[in-house]
């Protein structure tokens, strides 16, 4: 149980030495306070933590540093998620360098806030200002480490990142290609020295698939009989089936690697003896977009916005778009779905014509009724 001892110092001041003896494991917790009230409160908190089974987690926090926690997470937890291992490790190693020297018991919310603000003030490897969304990825990676420490390893009482406010993120891009822009872009891609650029861009426009999903496609995942594409490598980790349209089938059959006994990647790396998917075609795509008269800053991922928007303008429902794009949240689909000004004007035109027709019908009915009376 707890006890308090009053200690008289040489300068005449008084301090209070508090102790709590623990039977199992046999040890004593000690602390010194400037008032008896604070000492009593500390004893009550320790005894309450012991009764609730929380005290020994606090003891673990005094024995381990943040660096030790991150190292254990990287070696034991991250290998379960091979797809994200490299990226998450890079984010966590940044935190290790910033706050790794702190004992878990000494780490405060304020220390995480300092790291957050440093990230916001910094720049990326492309020398551009780091966005709020990128900083949130760093915070999410660190938060996962502390969540595991709390729930699985019981090294901590609570997650210090949970109360740190997150930077606001951009509302997302709304750029997508009109019908008049799609033709010149495809023609420009045909002229590109990159032999895969045209079929990859065409498939992206027709299906809304991400570049990584297209690049990692293998021929045994392209089923011409069932007319479907099976995506195993998706962003959220789920397997997704994309229906194959006539135009998509034509695009696949026109690929250089198409043959009756087709095997391996649909778009393999062009280096001899390398069994990997094609690397990024970013620069070839940027050049093709510029030659097609599309403004600077248009990205390959905007083709996904384009596909989603044109499907929506042709009557696809929210649920249908979620199924095609593989979104778990309707909010994500809303971010991808945009409407051209021409489409909106046509919708308004049709609506107003219907309204006026209904109004004329009512007016003619009233006129007829008044005449008959």
pLDDT computed for residue 185 by the predictor: 94
For residue 181, is pLDDT > 60?
A: yes
User: Could you tell me the strand order of the sheet in which 228-231 lies?
Assistant: 222-223, 228-231, 240-243
Active-site position among 111, 301, 335, 343: 301
pLDDT computed for residue 171 by the predictor: 61
Residue 336 CB-density burial (10 A; 0-12 exposed, 13-18 middle, 19+ buried):
buried
For residue 172, is pLDDT > 50?
A: yes
For residue 363, is pLDDT > 60?
A: no
Active-site position among 304, 305, 310, 338: 304
Q: Hey, what are 306's tokens? A: 């384009």
Alpha helices in 193-237 (DSSP H): 197-207, 211-215
3-class secondary structure, 159: coil
pLDDT computed for residue 287 by the predictor: 92
pLDDT tens, position by position, 283-314: 899 999 999 998 878 888 889 888 888 888 88
Non-local (6+) Cβ contacts of 239 within 8 A are 230, 231, 232
| Sign of the alpha-carbon dihedral angle for 193, 199, 205, 207 | negative
116 noted as active-site residue = no
72 noted as active-site residue = no
310 noted as active-site residue = no
Altogether, the residues listed in the chain come to a count of 373
pLDDT computed for residue 39 by the predictor: 86
pLDDT computed for residue 1 by the predictor: 66
Non-local (6+) Cβ contacts of 144 within 8 A are 73, 88
- Count of CB atoms situated within 10 Å of the CB of 320: 13
Residue with tokens 């019981």: 154
Where residue 34 falls among pLDDT bands split at 50, 70, 90?
confident
For residue 361, is pLDDT > 70?
A: no
Q: Do 197 and 288 contact (CB within 8 A), yes or no?
A: yes
pLDDT computed for residue 373 by the predictor: 42
For residue 189, is pLDDT > 90?
A: yes
Considering only residues 248 and 351, tell me which one the structure prediction assigns the higher pLDDT.
Answer: 248
Active-site position among 235, 250, 253, 342: 235
Give pTM, 2 decimals: 0.59
pLDDT tens, position by position, 201-229: 999 999 989 898 898 899 999 999 999 99
Calpha distance 35→113 (Å, rounded): 31
173 noted as active-site residue = no
Where residue 369 falls among pLDDT bands split at 50, 70, 90?
very low
pLDDT tens, position by position, 329-344: 777 777 666 666 666 6
Q: For 252-281, give one letter per residue: b (16+ CB within 10 A) or e.
A: beebebeeeeeeebbbbeeeeeeeebbeeb
Active-site position among 144, 310, 327, 337: 327
198 noted as active-site residue = no
Q: Classify domain 179-337 by CATH number.
A: 1.10.443.10
pLDDT tens, position by position, 100-156: 999 988 888 899 999 999 999 988 877 788 888 899 999 999 999 999 998 888 888
101 noted as active-site residue = no
Q: Hey, what are 141's tokens? A: 């990676």
User: What phi and psi, each to the nearest 5 degrees, are found at residue 173?
Assistant: -75, 150
């Amino acid at each position: 149980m707890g006890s308090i001892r009053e200690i008289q110092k040489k300068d005449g001041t008084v301090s209070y030495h508090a102790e709590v003896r623990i039977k199992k494991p046999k040890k004593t917790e000690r602390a010194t306070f400037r008032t008896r009230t604070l000492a009593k409160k500390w004893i009550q908190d320790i005894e309450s933590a012991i009764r609730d089974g929380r005290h020994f987690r606090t003891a673990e926090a005094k024995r381990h540093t943040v660096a030790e926690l991150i190292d254990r997470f990287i070696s034991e937890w991250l290998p379960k998620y091979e797809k994200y291992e490299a990226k998450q490790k890079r984010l966590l190693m940044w935190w290790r360098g910033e706050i790794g020297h702190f004992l878990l018991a000494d780490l405060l919310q304020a220390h995480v806030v300092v790291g957050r603000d440093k990230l916001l003030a910094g720049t990326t490897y492309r020398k551009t200002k780091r966005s709020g969304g990128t900083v949130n990825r760093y915070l999410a990676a660190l938060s996962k480490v502390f969540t595991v420490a709390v729930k699985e390893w019981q090294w901590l009482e609570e997650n210090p990142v949970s109360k740190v406010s997150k930077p606001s993120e951009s509302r997302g891009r709304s750029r997508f290609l009109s019908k008049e822009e799609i033709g010149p872009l495809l023609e420009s891609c045909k002229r590109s020295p990159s032999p895969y650029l045209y079929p990859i861009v065409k498939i992206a426009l027709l299906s809304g698939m991400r570049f990584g999903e297209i690049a990692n496609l293998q021929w045994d995942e392209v089923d011409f009989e069932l007319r479907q594409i099976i995506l195993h490598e998706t962003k959220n980790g789920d397997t997704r089936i994309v229906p194959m349209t006539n135009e998509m089938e034509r695009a696949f059959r026109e690929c250089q690697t198409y043959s009756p006994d087709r095997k391996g990647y649909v778009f393999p790396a062009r280096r001899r003896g390398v069994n990997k998917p094609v690397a990024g075609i970013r620069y070839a795509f940027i050049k093709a977009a510029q030659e097609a008269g599309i403004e600077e800053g248009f990205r390959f991922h905007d083709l996904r916005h384009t596909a989603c928007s044109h499907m929506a303008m042709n009557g696809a429902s929210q649920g249908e778009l979620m199924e095609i794009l593989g979104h778990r949240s309707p909010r994500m689909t809303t971010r991808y779905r945009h409407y051209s000004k021409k489409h909106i004007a046509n919708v308004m035109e049709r609506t107003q014509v219907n309204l006026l027709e209904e109004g004329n019908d009512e007016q003619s009915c009233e006129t007829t009724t008044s005449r008959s009376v």
